[in-house]
Structure 1
Amino acid sequence: MFIRNERSVKEFIQLYPAVAWLVIIQLVLWLLTGFLQTPLGNWIREWGMGVNFYISQGEYWRLITAIFFHAGLMHVLFNSFALVLFGPALEQMLGKMKFITAFLGAGLIGNLATFLLGPTLYSHVGASGAIYGLFGIYAFMIAFRKHLIDPSSTQIVTIILVIGLIMTFLRSGINIYAHVFGFIGGFALAPLLLNNVRPYSPRLGRQYVDDGSIQFDPDRWQKKQRNKKVFQRGLWIILGILVILGLFSRIL
């Protein structure tokens, strides 16, 4: 489910438009507000970032807009990487509208918890709560919809979720409320969102040429073994990248 094998960026955008556009939006906003730092970009950031005091004054849109802003390069890259890795399978299973509802709904719940439980002057940005909401949906599958997720993907989700939660409480500068309640929000929304969905299929939506002939592959077993090894290497690469990004995000 999580090893990306699309042939091009164009194909990825065609197959998973919601994930693609969410990533594009947050990268463009970072370019405007974090890299270029133009007056317009600074105004947009001040208008959209989450600030509990301003929310208490009636600026409730910040509960949503704060999801798309990020604190730095590593922050936006980490969240974009996580969204590209774990979003496509859910978008295919749920559909575009349900996926966007899940993403924004979990992010909203995380930011609402930040507002209700955090200090009055607390400010925050980032899609981490929404992404933890996606993990919440996967966790619900593991617990109650096992037919929707394969054992290998279950292991990946479990390992990365444990690592993510440990880092949430060990690293400084993390919005713990958004992470924890974003996850809870995704888990709570999952029963509604997962009605009548089918397991992820990497072939869905792709075009294949069939010449009508019956073919037999004598190397089928060897290919399965090679694919298993590639999968295992991919898992360790993913974990390594996550750890490295986490370490760098403490420095940069």
Structure 2
Amino acid sequence: MNEFQFRRLRNQPFFTWLFLGIQTLVFLLGYFLPRIPLESNGVLYGPAIVFLHQYWRFLTPVFFHFGLMHYAVNSIVLYYMGEQIEALYGHTRFLIIYLGTGIMGNLMSFAFNTPGIVSAGSSTALFGLFGSFIILGVHFRHNQVIEGLVKQFTLFLVLSFAFGMFDQSIDIWGHVGGLVGGVLIGNFIGLPRPAKKYSIHIRILSLLIFTFFVILCLMYGFKKYG
């Protein structure tokens, strides 16, 4: 493999493909092998976290979906948006954003939703990608390509919130948590080549606010079941 081929391979959105592959595998196993209790052990379910100490449920719901439409829509959005954001932020930053915001969204759902509610879906992490893209819009406000993508993603964001107001199956708190987490994590980790230098004070403040939200959600969530 020559240097050009190595660089081309390195620039591929392999984490986006990895997450797509994982949620596709989980969906197919649940669809064709329904007797395997994957979903019951992977979705967000407060009592299992509090009383059975199944803390992995703050992360695993990102890879589970309820039905074909739920899986298909989230997979399309992940493919379209993930490959672009992974290219802009870089692989490591993208990995941190996707998993970190997915956890943040599930934490907020755990804290503020009705006790005992069941929730799952990659939309928590997808809204986190939206949030991180807001940071791109701030730092590259004069870049026409970035501005166009920000407008497209913002439109999707508004429509998703609008539908969520009328669809009780949509986890609004999970979306809010993912969005807030995306803004904070995106601002904290920064870009590989920012248009201007990040203020260290803003980055530290973003980390502190993120930590505050994590602690608040954990305390409030566990208190509900106390």
Q: TM-score range by the shorter chain?
A: 0.7 to 0.9
Instruction: Check if 1:190 corresponds to 2:195.
Output: no
Deviation digits for residues 96-147 of structure 1, max 9, x if unmatched? Answer: 2221110111110110011111222111111111000000111222234425
Structure 2 portions without partners, runs of 5+:
1-7, 196-226
Bigger CA radius of gyration: 1
Question: Residue 174 of structure 1 aligns with which residue?
Answer: 170
TM-fit CA distance, 1:194: 2.3
Structure 1 portions without partners, runs of 5+:
1-10, 200-252
Identify if the C-alpha distance between structure 1 residues 15 and 24 changes in structure 2 by more than 3 Å, giving closer, same or farther.
Answer: same
Instruction: Check if 1:74 corresponds to 2:69.
Output: yes
Please give the alpha-carbon distance, in whole angstroms, between the structure 2 residues aligned to 1:93 and 1:59: 34
Q: Answer yes or no: is the 8 Å Cα contact 2:139–2:194 preserved in 1.
A: no
Q: Percent identity?
A: 26
Instruction: Check if 1:32 corresponds to 2:29.
Output: yes
Question: Residue 46 of structure 1 aligns with which residue?
Answer: 40
Pairs within 5 Å for 1:6-155:
15-33=12-30, 35-40=31-36, 43-57=37-51, 58-146=53-141, 150-155=146-151
Q: Answer yes or no: is the 8 Å Cα contact 1:12–1:20 preserved in 2.
A: no
TM-fit CA distance, 1:150: 2.6
TM-fit CA distance, 1:13: 10
Pairs within 5 Å for 1:207-218:
none
TM (norm. structure 1) is 0.68
Secondary structure of the corresponding residue to residue 191 of structure 2: coil
Identify if the C-alpha distance between structure 1 residues 190 and 134 changes in structure 2 by more than 3 Å, giving closer, same or farther.
Answer: same
Please give the alpha-carbon distance, in whole angstroms, between the structure 2 residues aligned to 1:31 and 1:12: 28
Moved more, 166-175 or 149-158: 149-158
Q: Answer yes or no: is the 8 Å Cα contact 1:168–1:176 preserved in 2.
A: yes
Question: Residue 155 of structure 2 aligns with which residue?
Answer: 159
Deviation digits for residues 55-113 of structure 1, max 9, x if unmatched? Answer: 11221100001110000000010100000111111111222222111011111011001
The amino acid that maps onto 1:19 is: T
